[in-house]
Structure 1
Amino acid sequence: MPIETDVLVVGGGATGAGTARDLALRGLDVALVDRAGLSAGTSSRSHGLCHSGARYAESDPAGAEECIQERQILGEVAGACVRDTGGLFLELEADDPDYFAAKREACEKVGIPTTVLEGGKARAEVPALSPNVQRALSVPDAVIYPSRIVAANAAAARNEGAQILTHAPVEGMRLEGDRIAAVELGGQVDDTVEADFVVNAAGAWAGRVAAMAEVDVEMQPNRGVMVSVRDDALEPATMPVLNRCRDPADGDIVVPHEDEVVLGTTSVDVDDPDEYETAEWELERVREECARMLPPVADAEDVRTWWGVRPLYAPDEATRESRGISRGFFLLDHAADGVANFASIVGGKLTTYRAMAEATADLVCERLGVDEPCVTADRRLPGADDSERLDAFVAEFDAGGPSDADVVSTDRGSGSGSTSARADR
């Protein structure tokens, strides 16, 4: 017998899990599917920075304002999924002081609180900083643990009756007229889903999912490397996020965990988000550039290295350098493409997953005639105050990944696969 549901969400990263949660809280029957464990794509392979919006303040004020709003919401609802570290944008001797001033002014315009610290005061806060730090801009950045945030959203959706189906790749779609009539799942589920509406939240793989519905979604996958290192001189437990105060470039972010720091990142276009080459120069450049801010990382112990693939949406930007492609999100209503019960949510950032989910759920509810408001900005995630419970969700949904592997205490990879039972409230 096919699985019948109001909404099928394809893609179990932060946006997909957040969308499933939002829709379930509005009273809809939801099924969430992923080809592997949850967060196995981009979400679990990020650098884990929860943006204040300062990084985008001068280049994308609307996106920056969205970031600070979502950063504040996550601080209220996400508990131990987020660590409130604060952040510093560092101006080095070689950096343009006008850029520093422009960033501060742009932050103030969009409501991002800032404080200027002279170099000596910044080094008093972070003793390992380079003596070449001239001044720093303090902003409310934070660290987000992706596996926890994804698993907690999935657990919240399941609490409301949603089915969470992992290791269930979408293998095809059957169209009837202007609608998706059925979606074929393989893997551990090996069944058919009949849904009134289908949401494509497959990130860098969104183009492949859309093609099954004969719709064109032009993604530009873009790889970046992260290196997690450890050194006694770093004191990451008390360190803020560090950002180089210059135009975004390779090796300009340091994200602290409990006893490691994550160095990132690079930006290289790839053709295939599953199979792509990596390069030794990326590792060398990231470490070298981050060491300009934080010298001990130059010789720090290399704990683990991973690459992630950004799900950039680039319908008209094939010739643009990828750092210039918008990091904003795009909600594509495929009724305009002749498929009335299909939408794709693409682009965006981990920080804004909840806003992406809200916009998507609003569209779905409008199409299905559901008049219920979004409540995710005010509803704490299950397990938010209990790290062990969050990590149990991660294990259950096979949601672990390298981004927070040093923090999340669970047997990653031991998830039981397809699950649909309700979680404890």
Structure 2
Amino acid sequence: MTDRTDVLVIGGGATGTGIARDLALRGVDVTLVERDGLAAGASGRSHGLLHSGARYAESDPEGALECLEENRILRDIAGECVRETRGLFVKLSEDDPSYFETKRTACEELGIPTEEIDGETAQAEMTGLADNVERAMWVPDGVVVPSRLVAANAADARDHGARIYLHAPVTGMTLEDGRIAAVSLGGDVDETVEPTYVVNAAGAHAETIAELAGVTVEMQPTRGVMISVEYDGLEPVLNRCRDPADGDIIVPHDAEVVLGTTSVPVDDPDEYERSDWEVEKTVDECAAMLPSVAEADHVRTWWGVRPLYEPEEAARGGRGISRGFHRLDHATDGVENLVSIVGGKLTTYRRMAESTTDLVCDRLGVDATCSTAKTRLPGATEPSTLNAFVDEFDGQGPTDSDLVGRK
């Protein structure tokens, strides 16, 4: 069976579903394919932090502003797909005081709202905070419920005419005259798609998809562990105010907190080591901020793989503290109808989708502008509706399995 479509989007994470939604809202015929259920990759295996930009303020001002702007947009359009918390950057007695000052100044220069408090005030406002907190800074971080976010984007795309195929891995591509003429699907969908244009939004697997088209996308995926432990009553996201390192973020849920994370390069985003030392170090480091998590019962542990773009990682010396995104137009590589979108963060998925959709519409001659920044996601105010979307698209990930009910 052959399916013809204007645009084929490969990848069912936040970016892929965001692109499908944006295209559909602009009236473009679009098909999205995902090898598993939705949010099976990095989107559904993250720590779920809605960035304010403060984490990147001094190291990547442009990326920080993108986070700040998208944070505000998501709070407007996503409803129960995000949780309205705050973030608190804490400086412990052993942390470099100049780093705190540099970050605070950078936030002020970028317009990221901050409020500095002393250690005693922080401990009074935050029960259980470490005794050696000397200074702290409030920022507008929040929490993403990624399973809901991805499923809501897919539902809106579907409602505007998109076709969404799950458990449909791409198994091959046919090229003719410098264009992708056909894409073969396997799994539950034994079908061939003939697209006018193709978007590679496969995350850590973008390199593999690109190879099928005969082009190169150099990825350097890194693994990171997350541990959810029992802890009731934490309001804000906690960030250790020091150079980025293992175990420097604690993300609140209802009766749990998520401790994260590590950053270890992997060769294969599907097959990689899951090391006990990562769990132990992450717990120990997070306990420096919130001591009682050291003895808290572990509810679940998972690893995620970040879809990092290798040239940027190399330029920043490895762990880098940029999570900018890259839109790679493969017309320059001899494939006229292919674009890859790589890197980025869950917080900036909508902007990544807008940038990609702008390019695709330009190539297709579609004169329509983006409306996703002002159009609320379907079911945004109704958790039960959002959870039903998650079920419909087989979208549950470990990040939010305590927040999203399953039938």
> 1:199 corresponds to which residue?
199
| Distance apart, 1:323 and its partner CA | 1.1
Structure 1 segment 351-370 matched on structure 2, within 5 A: 351-370=347-366
Following the alignment from structure 1 to structure 2, what is the Cα–Cα distance between the partners of residues 281 and 361? 41
> 1:418 corresponds to which residue?
none
> 2:292 corresponds to which residue?
296
Runs of 4+ in 1 over 6 A off after TM superposition: none
TM-align CA RMSD: 1.0
Query: In the alignment, is residue 49 of structure 1 matched against residue 49 of structure 2?
Result: yes
CA contact (8 A) 2:244 2:321 kept: no
Query: In the alignment, is residue 341 of structure 1 matched against residue 353 of structure 2?
Result: no
SS at match of 1:312: coil
Deviates more, 1:59-68 or 1:94-103: 94-103
| Counterparts in 2 of 1:325 and 1:190: CA distance versus 1, 3 Å | farther
Following the alignment from structure 1 to structure 2, what is the Cα–Cα distance between the partners of residues 319 and 69? 26
Q: Once the two structures are superposed, what CA deviation does each residue of 1:111-139 show, in whole Å capped at 9, x if it has no partner?
A: 11000011111112211100111111100
CA contact (8 A) 2:59 2:321 kept: no
CA contact (8 A) 1:317 1:325 kept: no
Query: In the alignment, is residue 167 of structure 1 matched against residue 167 of structure 2?
Result: yes
CA contact (8 A) 2:56 2:321 kept: no
| Distance apart, 1:326 and its partner CA | 3.5
CA contact (8 A) 1:82 1:143 kept: yes
CA contact (8 A) 1:222 1:322 kept: no
CA contact (8 A) 2:16 2:201 kept: yes
> 2:109 corresponds to which residue?
109
Following the alignment from structure 1 to structure 2, what is the Cα–Cα distance between the partners of residues 357 and 78? 15
> 1:269 corresponds to which residue?
265
> 1:88 corresponds to which residue?
88
Q: Once the two structures are superposed, what CA deviation does each residue of 1:275-306 show, in whole Å capped at 9, x if it has no partner?
A: 00111110000000000000010100100000
How many residues of Structure 1 are paired with residues of Structure 2 in the alignment?
Answer: 407
| Distance apart, 1:108 and its partner CA | 1.1
Query: In the alignment, is residue 128 of structure 1 matched against residue 125 of structure 2?
Result: no
| Distance apart, 1:153 and its partner CA | 0.1
- Aligned with 1:388 (options 364, 384, 390): 384
Following the alignment from structure 2 to structure 1, what is the Cα–Cα distance between the partners of residues 331 and 316? 28
**Counterpart residue type for residue 94 of structure 1:** E
Following the alignment from structure 1 to structure 2, what is the Cα–Cα distance between the partners of residues 289 and 270? 23
Following the alignment from structure 2 to structure 1, what is the Cα–Cα distance between the partners of residues 236 and 252? 7
Q: Once the two structures are superposed, what CA deviation does each residue of 1:201-235 show, in whole Å capped at 9, x if it has no partner?
A: 0000000000000000000010000000003xx51
| Counterparts in 2 of 1:317 and 1:148: CA distance versus 1, 3 Å | closer
Query: In the alignment, is residue 216 of structure 1 matched against residue 216 of structure 2?
Result: yes
> 1:415 corresponds to which residue?
none
| Counterparts in 2 of 1:374 and 1:367: CA distance versus 1, 3 Å | same
| Distance apart, 1:65 and its partner CA | 0.4
**Counterpart residue type for residue 338 of structure 1:** G
CA contact (8 A) 1:185 1:191 kept: yes
TM-score (norm 1): 0.94
| Distance apart, 1:322 and its partner CA | 2.6
| Counterparts in 2 of 1:256 and 1:218: CA distance versus 1, 3 Å | same
Return 5+ residue gaps in structure 2 as ranges: none
Q: Once the two structures are superposed, what CA deviation does each residue of 1:331-370 show, in whole Å capped at 9, x if it has no partner?
A: 0000000000000000000000000000000000000000
| Counterparts in 2 of 1:383 and 1:316: CA distance versus 1, 3 Å | closer
- Aligned with 1:235 (options 229, 233, 236): 233
SS at match of 2:221: strand
| Distance apart, 1:317 and its partner CA | 4.8
SS at match of 2:38: coil
Following the alignment from structure 1 to structure 2, what is the Cα–Cα distance between the partners of residues 348 and 386? 28
| Counterparts in 2 of 1:45 and 1:113: CA distance versus 1, 3 Å | same
> 2:183 corresponds to which residue?
183
SS at match of 2:28: coil
Deviates more, 1:310-319 or 1:39-48: 310-319
Following the alignment from structure 2 to structure 1, what is the Cα–Cα distance between the partners of residues 386 and 37? 16
> 2:7 corresponds to which residue?
7
| Counterparts in 2 of 1:304 and 1:332: CA distance versus 1, 3 Å | same
TM-score (norm 2): 0.99
Following the alignment from structure 1 to structure 2, what is the Cα–Cα distance between the partners of residues 318 and 56? 18
Return 5+ residue gaps in structure 1 as ranges: 412-425
Following the alignment from structure 2 to structure 1, what is the Cα–Cα distance between the partners of residues 395 and 312? 34
| Distance apart, 1:320 and its partner CA | 6.0
Following the alignment from structure 1 to structure 2, what is the Cα–Cα distance between the partners of residues 383 and 135? 40
